[in-house]
Chain A
């Protein structure tokens, strides 16, 4: 049921049937309109306007000593191919990171959902707690562990010398899995929880082994969780800056690093703005393509158990 405060303006009919309601409904509506104004204004001012400014800057020129010079030109966009490598790198590493996350998160969520018993809430909380601590500190923990005086030093004791872990693509991928794992575990867990356990019993009673039951019942039914988990991880990883800087040491270049360099080092704001606009468009295109692809998978997942 909807609260009367939540009533949509078009379905006010129910209200006006009551004797004294119309005047009150009108008062409520006026109050609510007034209440929404500051928030809407805030977002127009600090979210929508900056996005518009971003597009305007991307059409400008770099001033001789850095910054922005007003112009109306597409030359920044024409120069985009020079940043093709970080674009490609970002997509490749984000994809790899998302797949790795999935490979760790699925069995984890499966463990929590099927073997959790009475402790499910605790198990869930333990996954979420690290996620809500500072991202910077979680990444730093790996700088500490992978650095020369961390794990490589321990390995030396065992006679394994000259291992380089920090500032490699491996470290970046590890950082991605470590930081984003909960975002993948949670939706998969939720969808596994919803799979009716009697379906698995029925499958077993009909003679299917545990693997067959998993492949034909559990996996297809948990597809929605996998689909949304992958999106929840992939999109923010695309915008990653800290992980490649701290764990990749400038060797593995993400778009985030490119943007920071363009804004702070070369102070080429218009080109930075163009890269940012292209980046937003890329995210939108990828999400849209993914949604189409995902809808098919989820639909298949729903049909599978009937076959």
Chain B
């Protein structure tokens, strides 16, 4: 059934408005990308095409180092989030109710509580836990140089808290849509619980797990605020970019930002494709 015809005037203004909003959403990003290829240093005029800002950005040792750090943090926290999010999503129904309730509460908290509060409470926690640990270290090994503190691993921990919540929610949603008779059939055919998990449940959940991993990875890769509080001395790419932005707009920042945009959009496209295609194939085999 088609839309009941309003006046043409309404129809036109709705369409016009829609396209305006798309322009509003995409133009700012497009401008950043376009000007990253601009030859001149000045922002308001396009003078020619050039890759020089990309070269300048990606030969800068600070950018490269921050990029490596970001990728490692995203990979490690992505894996942790995926393992923990998936295992809890599968296991939660069997867990005693009070624990399950509290865990659900924590998952909601990880999503609802603003990143800034997650970041600063983790900062306080890590600082107090490590200063306590450092006292023990200097007590037992007075000559060692080991000093624990904020840094790479506290950022990983912070990102994995949010990432686990994303993966948990995605996998649980998929699990709820699975046909129960499949796992029942598996156990009726004398598969052990572990085998059912390996051969039936996990393969069926694979697209959701993969999509969850990519989302957690992208979140970590793009995150600024949690890293801002928990990073200690280590530098992620968004942190580096933030510092350069505060120093002023520049074509080099445009080039770095454009590279990051391409990376996260690619990852998301892959996540969507995996999620969609596997789902379609499963429907066909049925």
B-binding residues in A (CB < 8 A): 1-9, 18, 20-21, 24, 27-29, 31-33, 35-36, 38-40, 42-44, 46-51, 53-54, 57, 68, 104, 107-108, 110-112, 114-115, 123, 125-127, 129-130, 132-138, 140-145, 147, 149-150, 153-154, 178, 181, 197-198, 200-201, 203-204, 210, 213, 235-236, 238-242, 246, 256, 259-260, 263, 269, 272-273, 276, 279-280, 283, 287
Contact = CB atoms under 8 A, between A and B. Distances in A.
Contact of B117 (A108, A147, A279): A279
B113 to A, nearest CB: 7
Nearest to A279: B117
A115 B3 contact: yes
Given A27-B192, A130-B25, A259-B120, A33 B94 contact: yes
Contact of B124 (A5, A53, A143, A178): A53
B170 interface: no
Nearest to A166: B249
Contacts of B3: 114-115, 197, 200
7 interchain residue pairs of minimum CB distance: A239-B114, A141-B28, A32-B94, A36-B91, A39-B88, A50-B125, A210-B6
B242 interface: yes
Contacts of A104: 21
Nearest to A287: B112
B44 A149 contact: yes
Interface residues of B, number: 102
A140 to B, nearest CB: 5
Interface string B126-164: 001000000000000000000000000000011011001
26 contacts: A3-B178, A4-B183, A5-B175, A5-B183, A5-B197, A28-B187, A36-B99, A39-B87, A50-B118, A51-B109, A53-B121, A57-B124, A111-B14, A114-B14, A129-B265, A133-B222, A134-B222, A134-B260, A134-B261, A141-B31, A197-B4, A239-B114, A239-B115, A259-B116, A276-B120, A279-B114
B43 interface: yes
A249 to B, nearest CB: 10
A50 B121 contact: yes
Contacts of B109: 47, 51
For the complex, would chain A's binding face be called helix, strand, loop or mixed by DSSP majority?
helix
Contacts of A3: 175, 178-180, 182-184, 201
Given A108-B21, A283-B112, 11 more contacts: A1-B179, A1-B181, A5-B90, A5-B175, A36-B91, A136-B238, A143-B245, A145-B28, A197-B1, A210-B7, A239-B116
Contact of B229 (A126, A178, A210, A263): A263
A32 B92 CA distance: 8
B29 interface: yes
A143 B243 CA distance: 14
B193 interface: yes
Given A135-B222, A145-B28, A149-B44, A24 B193 contact: yes
B17 A111 contact: yes
Interface string B239-251: 0011001100100
A104 B21 CA distance: 8
B121 A276 contact: yes
A18 B113 CA distance: 45
B78 interface: no
Contacts of A33: 91, 94-95
Given A53-B121, A276-B120, A132 B95 contact: no
A217 to B, nearest CB: 10
Nearest to B109: A47
B194 interface: yes
A274 to B, nearest CB: 12
A8 B95 CA distance: 8
Nearest to B100: A36
Contacts of B229: 263
B164 A42 contact: yes
Contacts of B7: 210
A18 B188 contact: yes
Contacts of B181: 1
Contact of A238 (B80, B114, B193): B114
B225 A241 contact: yes
